[in-house]
Amino acid sequence: MHTETATMPRKGHVMVVDDDELFLESVSTNLSDAGYRINAFPNGADAIDFLADQNPADLLLLDWKMPGITGIEVMQRLRAQQVDIPIIFLTVLSDQIYEEAGLLGGAVDFVEKSRSFSILRRRIELIMGGEKKPARFQGESTQAGDALVLRYDSHRAQWKGLPLNLTLTEFRIVAYMVEHRDRDVSYREIYDIVHGEGFMAGDGEVGFRTNVRAFIKRIRQKFRDADPNFTQIGNYPGFGYRWRDGAEQ
């Protein structure tokens, strides 16, 4: 069973999954009041069935720790079914190892439940609103070297003619590095693409570096799935990363 709220034109369609009835109601009501269409689910199995029935949604807010099917298991089942909906994990856990596991598994963000609703709403806006796409590239495509094509109108990327299954956040990270390929890009800059400028990780500098490393690891793997010899994303320990055109340098 699930509940739905939709009474007027919406900003987007968000699914919320949490076994805490009060938290589920609170988040769903706040998001509905903010202009989103909402489907609320008390467990992961119902959410999986909803998406398996080809019901569209733009974003999934998913409780990490639930009885029965956990949040990470929900994500794994959806990815196995080729459902690539962006996922934000909701959690009361603060240990960084859980965040890295979620990001490496395919989530785009990880928000502690103790954060205010305004922070959660801002994360959703960043993921769904396309605010990090440079205005000069809207509706266009750009090419880096002879191999990478970025299509800003559809947030799709190709490497050596092969499609890359990048999430929206991953696309933005790659695009930012390509646009600034004349210099090193810091961990903080990449973290801001994901979370918004000025957001502070729970574990400070260590936290946001771990977060960024998880994203870069997934991005590199997707490129290497298309090209085992991919080396264009260089690492500068203690600072960040750089996109390198051409072959290994």
Please tell me the least confidently modeled range out of 28-32, 57-61, 115-119. 115-119
Q: Would you list the domain boundaries of the chain?
A: 3-129, 135-243
**Mean pLDDT for the stretch of residues 135-157:** 67
- Torsion angle defined by CA atoms of residues 57, 58, 63 and 69, in that order, rounded to the nearest 10 degrees: 40
pLDDT at residue 98, rounded to an integer:
65
Q: Which amino acid is at 198?
A: G
User: In the β-sheet with 185-186, what is the strand arrangement from edge to edge?
Assistant: 185-186, 240-243, 233-236
Q: Are 131 and 195 in contact (CB under 8 A)?
A: no
pLDDT at 248 over 80: no
Model confidence band, residue 131 (pLDDT cutoffs 50, 70, 90): very low
pLDDT value at 103 more than 80: no
Answer yes or no: is pLDDT of 184 > 90.
Answer: yes
Q: How confident is the model at residue 136 (pLDDT cuts 50, 70, 90)?
A: very low
Q: How far is CA 34 from CA 6, 10, 18, 117, in A?
A: 12, 9, 19, 11
Q: Which fold has domain 135-243?
A: Arc Repressor Mutant, subunit A (1.10.10)
The answer to whether the pTM exceeds 0.95 is no
Instruction: Tally Cβ neighbours within 10 Å of residue 40.
Output: 25
Say which residue the tokens 């690539």 belong to. Answer: 84
Residues 6+ apart with CB under 8 A from 41: 2, 15, 16, 17, 24, 47, 50
Under 8 Å between Cβ of 123 and 103: no
Q: What pLDDT does residue 203 have?
A: 47
Pull the structure tokens for residue 192: 């801001």
- The rounded percent of the chain whose pLDDT value lies above 70 is 75
Which residues contact residue 63 at a Cβ distance below 8 angstroms, ignoring those fewer than 6 apart? 17, 18, 19, 20, 71, 89, 90, 91
Share of the chain above pLDDT 90, in %: 33
Q: Indicate the SS3 state at residue 105.
A: helix
3-state secondary structure of 15: strand
- β pairing state of 59-63 and 240-243: unpaired
- If one compares 126 and 34, the residue with the highest pLDDT of the two is 34
Give the pLDDT of residue 133: 40
Mean pLDDT of the chain: 80
Q: How far apart are alpha carbons 173 and 191 in whole angstroms?
A: 9
Reply yes or no on domain 3-129 having CATH 3.40.50.2300: yes
87: closest CA among 111, 69, 65, 66? 111
**34, amino acid identity:** A
Give the separation between CA 158 and CA 205, rounded to whole angstroms. Answer: 32
Q: Among the listed ranges 25-34, 201-210, 227-236, which one has the minimum average pLDDT value?
A: 201-210
